[in-house]
């Protein structure tokens, strides 16, 4: 079936086929605050804290049961590797690959599966920080950056006590 984004039945059919593909591949739904788009993930046993994440471009209807992929072609399906960093925030640590929703429905599902496999194999052996071995991500300037921001030292306690001194002398000035 050649996918036609103008057709609601097509958008529903593609959504169902994508979810079939994801669940066959062992992906489970995940939720994020403020995100309507259905997201699916699979963790990587060999690499703790890492998972392959798929933004499906599928959204549930808000006024009735059911779901379909979004209308616009611009928001493609996106596949990436994500890491649970030590500050508690998940962070993307791979390039985001995009799957365009054009051509036959089966081909779109196959393309997504190919991107999922690529991301999974990267997640098993990601580039890692030389200092702490956490995965790295690419900065806007193209540098590898530690996803745990391991170069940042804890706040210096000397600074806290200095500001304490400043406050107490200020109070004395006010009173005196
Ligand atoms: Zn590091």
Domain locations in the chain? 8-126
- Banded pLDDT at 153 (limits 50, 70, 90): low
Rounded CA separation 92/78 (Å): 12
Q: 121 C-alpha to center of ligand 1: Å?
A: 21
Asked whether the beta carbons of 76 and 119 are under 8 A apart, the reply is no
Q: Which residue has the higher pLDDT, 172 or 26?
A: 26
Q: In this predicted model, what pLDDT tens digit does every residue of 28-78 receive, in sequence order?
A: 999 988 888 999 999 999 999 999 999 999 999 989 999 999 887 557 899
Q: 117 C-alpha to center of ligand 1: Å?
A: 26
Mean pLDDT (the chain) is: 87
Q: 93 C-alpha to center of ligand 1: Å?
A: 13
Q: 132 C-alpha to center of ligand 1: Å?
A: 4
Q: In this predicted model, what pLDDT tens digit does every residue of 161-171 receive, in sequence order?
A: 444 444 433 44
Q: In this predicted model, what pLDDT tens digit does every residue of 72-99 receive, in sequence order?
A: 755 789 999 999 999 988 999 999 999 9
State which residues have CB under 5 angstroms from ligand 1, the bound ion.
129, 131-132, 134, 146, 150
Q: 152 C-alpha to center of ligand 1: Å?
A: 9
The predicted structure's pLDDT at residue 19 = 98
Q: 159 C-alpha to center of ligand 1: Å?
A: 25
Rounded CA separation 51/119 (Å): 9
The whole-number average pLDDT for the span 102-127 is 97
Backbone angles phi, psi at 124, to 5 degrees: -70, -30
Rounded CA separation 119/94 (Å): 8
Rounded CA separation 27/34 (Å): 21
The pTM assigned to this predicted structure is: 0.83
Q: Which residue has the higher pLDDT, 19 or 33?
A: 19
The predicted structure's pLDDT at residue 32 = 87
Q: 85 C-alpha to center of ligand 1: Å?
A: 10
């Amino acid at each position: 079936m050649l996918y036609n984004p103008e057709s609601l039945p097509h958008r529903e059919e593609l959504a169902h086929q994508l979810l079939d593909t994801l669940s066959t591949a062992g992906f489970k739904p995940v939720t994020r605050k403020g995100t309507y788009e259905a997201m699916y993930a699979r963790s990587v046993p060999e690499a703790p804290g890492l998972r392959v994440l798929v933004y499906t471009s599928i959204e549930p209807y808000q006024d009735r049961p059911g779901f379909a992929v979004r209308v616009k072609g611009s928001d493609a399906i996106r596949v990436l590797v994500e890491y649970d960093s030590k500050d508690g925030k998940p962070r993307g640590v791979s390039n985001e690959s995009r799957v365009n929703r054009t051509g036959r429905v089966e081909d779109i599902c196959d393309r997504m599966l190919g991107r999922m496999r690529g991301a999974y194999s990267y997640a098993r052996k990601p580039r890692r920080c030389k200092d702490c071995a956490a995965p790295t991500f690419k900065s806007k300037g193209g540098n590898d950056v530690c996803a745990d921001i391991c170069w940042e030292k804890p706040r210096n306690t000397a600074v806290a006590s200095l500001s304490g001194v400043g406050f107490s002398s200020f109070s004395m000035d006010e009173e005196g």
